[in-house]
């Protein structure tokens, strides 16, 4: 008489409303506890392990779980636990067994699985980082720079093979050129395969009989090169210019990495910048501010452009010069130039000039003094 099956939720010790994650955690705990490799010769542990596997195989599959919830064991016995060949819930088993075997669990040879390849093929070369210093105007208008770099390239003595001329390269006799070795073990499920990188050829699949004297078998050498970098107009301190395929050479015939050029922009004594906009503090005389008129404003390209100053302009007034800023680095037009007026107060006046200014001040109508009067009225109110 066959033994009556226990409820699968009871087997895993979870509630019937348990989430898929809770079911997986419960199974992981039982699998680690009762795995035959940890309980050699313990028949009871082996039975509990099989029971947990059977429960998890059903409850980890949405369709099987629905059938089980509706019909009990009768709903799933026809498609009962038969190994991993069907693939249902396979990813969960692989994750859990990787814990048991400490990672590197490459496949399940006895259950229709196949060991994954661990051979190291061509690998892309490393990227290089360069910090490039530019003047303010070089960043605004773009420029071309020539710089010297040191990068790893294919060894010119062995042509990148890593082997001394004439010595050749042979196939690794331990892994047969695959770059991996497979260990098989008998478990409660049958034969299982664990695949790891070959420790003799380190995953290369080949053995260099006599390494190159110059590169010591790496196939790479460091060389100094002069490269030309074209800096587009509009770069800023946060700009990074990638030079594709100009970095370090890759291993085993892999492509070159990139050069990443990070911009560092010097300050300008006259102009400042935010994004694509230029900012300038423009000094004007007292009479220019009072009378108004046209003034020449310097531009970042070295030229000037006239703007009109209205009568009675106050210090701090900002004028916008559209399209006079920095070209957008992505080609989306140009920014603007903002000019902030700074009125210069005369410091050294002769007697005649002082008399003229005093007469001028006395001649001002009350409406021209309202601003000052209003200010002092506010001061008096604040201290009353």
Asked if residues 240 and 261 have their Cβ atoms less than 8 Å apart, the reply is yes
Annotated binding site: 155, 158, 172, 175, 198, 201, 212, 215
Q: What angle do CA 195, 197, 203 make, to 5 degrees?
A: 140
Sheet holding 271-274, edge to edge: 271-274, 277-285, 337-344, 318-321
Cα(141)–Cα(145) distance, integer angstroms: 13
Q: What is the 3-state secondary structure (H, E, C) of 16-43?
A: CCCCHHHHHHHHHHHHHHHCHHHCCCCH
> Chain centroid to CA 369: how far?
60
Asked if residues 184 and 101 have their Cβ atoms less than 8 Å apart, the reply is no
Annotated binding site for Zn(2+): 155, 158, 172, 175, 198, 201, 212, 215
Secondary structure of residue 347 in the 3-state scheme: coil
Asked if residues 140 and 326 have their Cβ atoms less than 8 Å apart, the reply is yes
- Using only C-alpha atoms, the chain has a radius of gyration, in whole angstroms, of 40
Asked if residues 48 and 34 have their Cβ atoms less than 8 Å apart, the reply is yes
């Amino acid at each position: 008489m066959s033994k009556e099956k226990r409820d699968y939720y009871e087997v895993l010790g979870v509630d019937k409303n348990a989430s898929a994650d809770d079911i997986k955690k419960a199974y992981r705990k039982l699998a680690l506890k009762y795995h035959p490799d940890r309980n050699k010769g313990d028949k009871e542990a082996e039975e509990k392990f099989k029971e947990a596997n059977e429960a998890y195989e059903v409850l980890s599959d949405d369709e099987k779980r629905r059938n089980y919830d509706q019909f009990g064991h009768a709903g799933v016995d026809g498609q009962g636990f038969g190994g991993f060949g069907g693939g249902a819930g396979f990813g969960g088993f692989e994750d859990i067994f990787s814990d048991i075997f400490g990672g590197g669990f490459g496949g399940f040879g006895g259950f229709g699985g196949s060991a994954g390849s661990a051979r190291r093929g061509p690998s892309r070369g490393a990227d290089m980082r360069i910090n490039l210093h530019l003047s303010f105007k070089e960043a605004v208008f773009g420029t071309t720079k020539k710089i010297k770099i040191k990068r790893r390239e294919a060894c010119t003595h062995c042509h990148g093979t890593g082997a001394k001329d004439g010595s050749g390269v042979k196939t690794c006799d331990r892994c047969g050129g695959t770059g991996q070795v497979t260990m098989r073990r008998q478990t409660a499920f049958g034969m299982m395969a664990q695949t790891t990188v070959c420790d003799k050829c380190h995953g290369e699949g080949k053995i260099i009989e006599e390494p190159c004297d110059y590169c010591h078998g790496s196939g790479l050498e460091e060389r100094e090169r002069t490269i030309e970098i074209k800096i587009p107009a509009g770069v800023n301190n946060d700009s990074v210019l990638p030079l594709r395929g100009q970095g370090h050479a890759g291993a085993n015939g892999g492509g070159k990495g990139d050069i990443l050029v990070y911009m560092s922009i010097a300050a300008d004594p006259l102009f400042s910048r935010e994004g694509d906009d230029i900012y300038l503090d423009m000094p004007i005389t007292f009479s220019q501010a009072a009378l108004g008129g046209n003034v020449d404003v310097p531009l970042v390209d070295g030229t000037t452009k006239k703007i009109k100053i209205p009568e009675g302009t106050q210090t701090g007034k900002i004028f916008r010069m559209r399209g006079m800023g920095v070209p957008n680095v992505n080609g989306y037009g140009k920014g603007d130039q903002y000019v902030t007026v700074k009125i210069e107060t005369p410091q050294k006046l002769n007697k005649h000039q002082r008399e003229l200014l005093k007469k001028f001040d006395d001649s001002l109508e009350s409406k021209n003094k309202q601003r000052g009067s209003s200010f002092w009225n506010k001061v008096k109110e604040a201290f009353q």
